[in-house]
Amino acid sequence: MFCPYCRDEVQTNAVIKAKQIFANTPADQLAFLTLLLPVTYLPERDAKELIDDRRSKNRDMFNYHNFTDVKLFGTFEIDVKTGKMP
Ligand SMILES: [Zn+2]
C-alpha cells in the first residue's frame, strides 16, 4: 500500500527500469498495455496472492498464444475502497 507520494516514486522507478529494459528495442516494437481486471472483493485474499495469480494467468496466456518474443514489464496497481476510514 502506498500513499500518493510513494506511488509516484514507485511509478517513476518503474519507468526508469522499463527504459533500461527496452533501451535497445525500436519504438515500433513497443506497445503500452493496460489490463483491467474485474472488480474484486476478496477480503480473505491478500494483494500478493491476487498478483501472483494474475502473473500466472498472464504467463499461461502468453504461452498459449506462443508469444515467445514478447517481453512484459510493468507494475500492478490495485485500487482499494473501503467504508472504514482510519
Ligand atoms: Zn508514502
Q: What is the pLDDT of residues 18-59, one digit of tens each?
A: 999 999 999 999 988 888 877 776 666 677 888 888 889 988
Q: What residue segments make up the domains of the chain, in order of their start?
A: 4-64
Per-residue buried b or exposed e for 6-17, using 16+ beta carbons within 10 Å of the residue's own CB? eeeeeeeeeeee
How far away, in angstroms, is 7 Cα from ligand 1 center? 7
Pick from 75, 70, 58, 55: which is nearest to 15 by CA?
A: 75
How far away, in angstroms, is 8 Cα from ligand 1 center? 9
How far away, in angstroms, is 44 Cα from ligand 1 center? 25
DSSP secondary structure code for residue 49 in this structure: H
How far away, in angstroms, is 77 Cα from ligand 1 center? 15
Question: What pTM, to 2 d.p., does this model score?
Answer: 0.64
Q: By 3-state DSSP, what share of the chain in percent is helix, strand and coil, each rounded to 5?
A: 45, 0, 55
SS3 (DSSP) at 78: coil
Query: pLDDT, tens digit, for every residue of 61-85?
Result: 888 998 888 888 888 887 766 666 5
